[in-house]
Amino acid sequence: MVNPVLLIVVPLGLSFAIPLFSLISKRIEKYIPVAALVFNLVVSLLLIPKVLKQPINVFIGGYLPPFCINLVAGPVGILFSALIALIGLLVSIYALDYIREGAKQLYHILYLLLLTGATGVVLTGDIFNLFVFFEILCISSYALVAYFGDRAGIESAVKYLIQGAVGSSLMLIGIGLLYGLFGTLNMADIARNIDSVSSISVFVPLVLLITGLGVEAAIFPLNAWLPDAHSSAPSSISAILSGIAIKVGIYALARVIFTIFGASSLLQFMVFLGLLTLLVGEVSAFSQNNIKRLLAYSSIGQIGLIVFALGIGITYGVVGGLFQLISHALSKALLFLAVGYMIYRSGSMDISALEGMGKRMPLTSLAFTIGAFSLVGFPPFIGFPSKFLIIRAALSKEEVLFTVLIAFVLLGTVIEGAYFFRVIQVLYFRGGQTDIKREEAPVPALIPIFILMILIVVIGIYPKPVTNLLNSASSELLNRIEYIRGVLG
Amino acid sequence: MSFLNNYIYYIGALGLILIGLYIILVKRNLIKVIIGLSILDTGINLFLISIGYMSEGTAPIFEKGEAKLARMVDPVPQALVLTAIVIGVAVLALALSLAIRLYHHYGTLNLRKIREQRW
């Protein structure tokens, strides 16, 4: 049997082995992340059938929980680790050609560390361990945002660092309070005892944890860092930050609210927060002239939609939320990767500079169009089933409130469609020059773009295998008794 | 006075946390903000350590197979603080190196003047 620990250990070890490998040859250092993530993807996919039968618990150090640090490879954990490995692998192939200047070796080390941190967060069953992995993720992403070292990059990295550090400090205070209350750091053990103390003393750590994780998950009003950081980072890092980093924040938030605290009374609040985030993100995206800032604000909107769906709190809602999470990760990664080379070729991030790209880079423009259509929710693409499930979940609550709220969500989608069509119109129908030379992106960049396009279409047409995994993932999130029993026996 | 005696560490920790947050929110100089982050970290570490503290306690080491459980401090918060200190140092080092680069680019550390990125 494959041990889920390998999902964390192998990338961690390989990331620090990169300087050693580069002693042998300078050229192989950029292939190490690819190798590590291929391994992670294969292991995650191998574990899926086993995990669907029964979650795998790993006790580190040979002690039994709650005394040891444990890993819980349930359907949720493996779903996320497979997604992280998939997106990470595709982006690392893209980076083979895209990262040409700067401290390349450090880029690859930090990139693998970022993904190690993300994988650790989704697999761990210990709340302090979750904090540590989160810090690994955050510190490497602060450094990667500043990778180019230009004015905008440094400024956004400083902002991101200050806000992120305050957020994780608040989270640590929350963890300290929980330890003071329960004398344990094991998430299942805390969840088992959470009802034994008065709800007011649990409320403070809950608020601190939600605020701390909300910074990382970019929930309104804690998202001021996101548009700067995502637009100033290298495009490959923007794809990872939008596709993976904020999703991991959402995961941790869901784990805290659903599993540890079982705070069903809070879900209504999360629904409103999600809707507010959605509308703020989409409206801000509408008024942007910088293409990467537009995509960053659109990420905020999509995060809002995911939080909204998870907050509905019924099976369909959680399945829809997780599906939307996957669909956004694939589509937004595709959009950032496509835009990366368009900016590289045109030399500007202004939307107006993309005129004529439909002829100059037809394949990349096609990829952008597919990603945009998928985010808006057009039928043959993956965005359609996910949005459909969310709307169905909201309507199946059969409450007037949710019917009104879903109308606002659809309004957000309309705004989203409007600004994406504006960009697509610029790509194909602006600029009268006829004698444009074809300058397609290089092959290492086209491979991940093609794979993402194929995945978006195939899962959009045939979502059944994914929804099977999502169903058991949502039952893991909603059924906390089962989770506690699985860990503590 | 027994209230003060019992809770003096928590009061001190809360004080440091609030001072740190105040500095981060109000000060304009990036170096001062980073000092605020450091004070916030110190406050949290003091808070964590005082959860497991016990006056006149000893290290939790078993002697001759028997445990003197009554007078042992809780080792877990100490392990947590050790980790938190390391993380704090990493964040601080990164923040200071970013501050140097920021000064190179803008010639100032005043955060109110550095706002090229806007909504």
- B87 CB near a chain A CB, below 8 Å? yes
Between chains, do A128 and B44 touch, taking CB under 8 Å as contact?
A: no
Q: Enter the pTM of the model.
A: 0.94
- Residue B119 pLDDT more than 70? no
Q: Do A154 and B105 touch (CB under 8 A)?
A: yes
Question: Do the chains contact at A143 and B41, CB–CB below 8 Å?
Answer: no
Q: For A430-476, what is each residue's pLDDT tens digit? A: 766 666 778 888 888 999 999 999 999 999 999 888 888 999 999 88
Higher pLDDT, A358 or A153: A153
Out of A176, A227, A228, whose CB is closest to B44?
A176
Q: Residue B47: which of A135, A150, A176 has the nearest Cβ? A: A176
Q: Is the CB of A349 inside 8 Å of chain B's CB atoms? A: no
Is the model's pLDDT at A213 over the cut of 90?
Answer: yes
Residue B19 within any structural domain of the chain: yes
| Record: contact B102-A139, CB cut-off 8 A | no
CB A73 within 8 A of CB A51: yes
CATH number at residue B27: 1.10.287.3510
3-state secondary structure of A109: helix
Please answer whether residues B117 and A152 qualify as being in contact, where contact means their C-beta atoms are separated by less than 8 angstroms: yes
**What is the pLDDT, as a whole number, of residue A330?**
94
How far, CA to CA in Å, does A305 sit from each of A278, A321, A323, A381, B8? 6, 8, 11, 18, 45
Which of A13-17, A432-436, B113-117 tops mean pLDDT? A13-17
Mean pLDDT calculated for residue range A218-237: 90
What are the tokens at A367? 């990829």
- The pLDDT score that the predictor gives to residue A372 is 94
CB-based contact B80 A151, cutoff 8 Å: no
Q: Which residues contact A119 (CB under 8 A, 6 or more apart)?
A: A7, A8, A11, A40, A81, A84, A85
Q: Smallest CA–CA separation between B105 and chain A, in Å?
A: 6
Is B119's CB within 8 Å of A157's CB?
A: no
Q: Has residue A297 got a pLDDT over 60?
A: yes
Domain count, chain B: 1
Query: Where in the sequence is the domain holding B85, given as residue range(s)?
Result: 2-55+72-106
Q: Out of A49-58, A75-84, A221-230, B48-57, which region has the weakest mean confidence (pLDDT)?
A: B48-57
Whether A151 and B48 lie within 8 Å, measured CB to CB:
no
Position A279 confidence tier, pLDDT thresholds 50, 70, 90: very high
- Residues A313-368 have pLDDT tens digits of 888 899 999 999 999 999 999 999 999 989 988 888 888 888 888 888 889 999 99
- Average pLDDT of chain A to the nearest whole number: 90
Q: What is the mean pLDDT of residues A18-32?
A: 89
Average pLDDT over residues A191-208: 90
Is the C-alpha dihedral spanning A64, A478, A381, A342 positive or negative? negative
Are A176 and B51 in contact (CB < 8 Å)? yes
Confidence class for position A95, pLDDT limits 50, 70, 90:
very high
Dump pLDDT digits (tens) for A359-398.
888 899 999 999 999 999 888 899 999 999 999 999 998 8
H helix and E strand count, chain B: 3, 0
Distances (CA, A) of A104 to A84, A101, A114: 22, 7, 15
Chain A positions in Cβ-Cβ contact with residue B76 (cut-off 8 Å): 179, 185
pLDDT in the model for residue B56: 76
| A287 touches B at CB < 8 Å | no
With an 8 Å Cβ cutoff, is B81 touching chain A? no
Residue B17 pLDDT: 96
Residue of A nearest to B74 (CA): A183
ipTM of the shown complex? 0.93
A154 touches chain B (CB under 8 A): yes
Mean pLDDT of A227-244: 92
Q: In this structure, is residue B8 part of a structural domain? A: yes
Chain A hits for B72, Cβ within 8 Å: none
Q: Give the pLDDT confidence score for residue A116 in this predicted structure.
A: 95
Give B27-33 contacts, CB < 8 A, sequence gap 24+: B28/B110, B28/B111, B28/B112, B29/B109, B29/B110, B29/B111, B30/A158, B30/B99, B30/B102, B30/B109, B30/B110, B30/B111, B31/B99, B31/B109, B33/A162, B33/B111
Q: Is A49 exposed, middle or buried (0-12, 13-18, 19+ CB in 10 A)?
A: exposed
Spatial distance between the Cα atoms of B96 and B76, rounded to a whole number of angstroms = 30
Q: Do B98 and A158 touch (CB under 8 A)?
A: yes
Cα gap A366→A357, rounded to integer Å: 10
